Amino acid sequence: MNYIDNKKTFALTTPLYYVNDIPHIGSAYTTIAADVVARYQRMRGNSVLLITGNDEHGQKIQRAAEARGLPPQVHCDEIVAGFEKLWQKLNIQYDRFSRTTANRHHAIVKEFFHRVWDAGDIYLSQQKGLYCVGCEEFKEERELLEGKRCPLHPNKEVEWRDEENYFFRLSKYQTQLEKLYQERPDFIQPETRRNEVLNFVGQGLQDFSISRVNLDWGFPIPTDPKHTIYVWFDALLGYVTALLEPEDEPTLENALAKWWPINLHLIGKDILRFHAVYWPAMLMSAKISLPEKVFGHGFLTKDGQKISKTLGNTIDPIDLVDRYGADAVRYYFMKEIEFGKDGDFNEKNRFIPILNADLANDLGNLLNRTLKMAYKYCGGEVPNLTGADISPENPLKTIGLPLGTQVAQAYENLAFSNACEAVLNLIRTGNKYIDEQAPWTLYKQGNQPAVEEVLYSVLESVRLAAYLLSPIIPGISNNIYQQLGFRTNFDDKTQLSNTANFSTSASWGTLPGKQKLGEPHPVFQKLEFSETSS
């Protein structure tokens, strides 16, 4: 394990998204999840490096630029700016933005190529087959739909290729890969994805071509510049380039010094093979240790249908955030879709009702009504109690005490939706508890100690909920913390990376008595369905 200043390092990646088009809701989905993991790891006091970026080379991008009548680099720069804008709007705190057109990336690709070449794992041969430019991948005929169409890109025909290419000796790594999957059963997650990979590898691995001819947009093969390096061979190394410190010379040694091995590659199920088969084999060939884990999540549909331009049902994530805010979008995807499974986006019937129920009615309302009572009955201060003063039978204390550990475990397992459900259970119980206890009646009866116990335990539960949900809804959590009288800023990376903070803050019963409360105001405005602005 790597320790820096006594902290564990945790490096994670999103895919480096293609720049053939403006960002897709799917890219937003993976990146939100990655940001949640990064924020959780920072909360645990770890040193975190979140890598995202763009994959800019290859035929698909070259054609997209041609279609717009732009030089490829100009096209890429424009699209990349759109990704950066989206990440800012979604409150994604990435540490590195990897662009495969960067000069330092070229240096890393060259050095890596030479290592694989020196290992004797690259040779020239004839490549014949059907190529899907959308996937940037050769396809077997049995993988295709009728009319030789790729199931992922059915609006485009695959193209016949018969050309001389350089090949990577993937087949040489068959046994080593199988050993890897057996010895490290967690390497590929979830289990269904692991099984897909075992099946694929079990059929026997074939060498794959890592160069293209008649394509300018990419890096030349260092030993034979008539060939261009295959986009995937180049793109996967974008993760390594991203590890360089800004002032570092771009060498593999420097890149691998501090953050390698990467702890988690978060990807969608569509690019599993590249990450769980090709990538470890490439690293084995270059004598580089392997990443810790590859997690392939499911695919999003819209109103039950595949999202595609042809169907005209794409969702512009920027428009969605503009209409509903970052926390709403982040929460919906993390809470409503079991991470790893496919999931649906339905704006009117699921997105809006769920956000209104959970964030406005349950969480927001509980804080708002309790704060108002704390002003009325306790002079605008947290009642002068600690968790230890609250009766062990108190239902909020019973749920609250083990909650920090449960939710931490859910985040560790990337079970975001379980994390949300566990917190919501506390919140819903809080609303029920306050209705049953009726502090307004207790106050009229002059039972001030009972009023204070009720209000303390509810305020503390809202605090704990805000803390534990802060990786998912940092804006709302900041707002709740301010209303509870704290100056915490969940967007401040330095403030959070302190291990002691987590054990205190994730424990029920740590809200300081007599803390001056902030002004009550709704933390989440009820959403109305609005038509897209575009």
Give least dist CB 251 to ligand ME8, A: 20
- 114 assigned binding-site residue: no
333 vs 486 by CB, closer to ligand ME8: 333
343 vs 439 by CB, closer to ligand ME8: 343
- Is the Cβ–Cβ distance between 167 and 124 less than 8 Å? yes
- Is the Cβ–Cβ distance between 177 and 171 less than 8 Å? no
Q: Where are the alpha helices (DSSP H) in 272-312?
A: 272-273, 279-285
Give least dist CB 267 to ligand ME8, A: 5
CA distance 527 to 205: 51
Give least dist CB 175 to ligand ME8, A: 25
Q: What are phi and psi of 417, to 5 degrees?
A: -70, -35
CA distance 4 to 259: 10
Beta bridge partner(s), residue 297: 268
Give least dist CB 254 to ligand ME8, A: 20
Q: Which residue in this structure is represented by tokens 């933390």? A: 523
CA distance 13 to 265: 5
Give least dist CB 512 to ligand ME8, A: 42
292 vs 389 by CB, closer to ligand ME8: 292
187 vs 486 by CB, closer to ligand ME8: 187
Give least dist CB 169 to ligand ME8, A: 21
Give least dist CB 346 to ligand ME8, A: 14
97 vs 375 by CB, closer to ligand ME8: 97
- 378 assigned binding-site residue: no
417 vs 505 by CB, closer to ligand ME8: 417
- Label the pairing between strands 149-150 and 224-229: unpaired
Q: How many CA atoms lie within 13 A of 514 on its CB side?
A: 1
- 132 assigned binding-site residue: yes
List all residues 6 or more positions away from 467 whose beta carbon is below 8 Å from its beta carbon. 477, 481, 505, 506
| DSSP state, residue 236 | H
Angle at 361 between CA 359 and CA 364, to 5 degrees: 55
| CA-only gyration radius of the chain, Å | 26
Give least dist CB 290 to ligand ME8, A: 15
294 vs 371 by CB, closer to ligand ME8: 294
- 76 assigned binding-site residue: no
Beta bridge partner(s), residue 97: 52
* Other C-beta atoms lying within 10 Å of the C-beta of residue 344: 15
Residue count (the chain): 534
15 vs 404 by CB, closer to ligand ME8: 15
CA distance 101 to 225: 17
**Contacting residues toward ligand ME8, per CB under 6 A:** 15-18, 24, 26-27, 29-30, 55, 235-236, 238, 267-268, 270-271, 299-300, 307
Asked if the peptide bond before residue 261 counts as cis, ω within 30 degrees of 0, the response is yes
Residue nearest ligand ME8 (C-beta atom):
26
Residues placed in the known binding site: 132, 135, 150, 153
Residues placed in the known binding site for Zn(2+): 132, 135, 150, 153
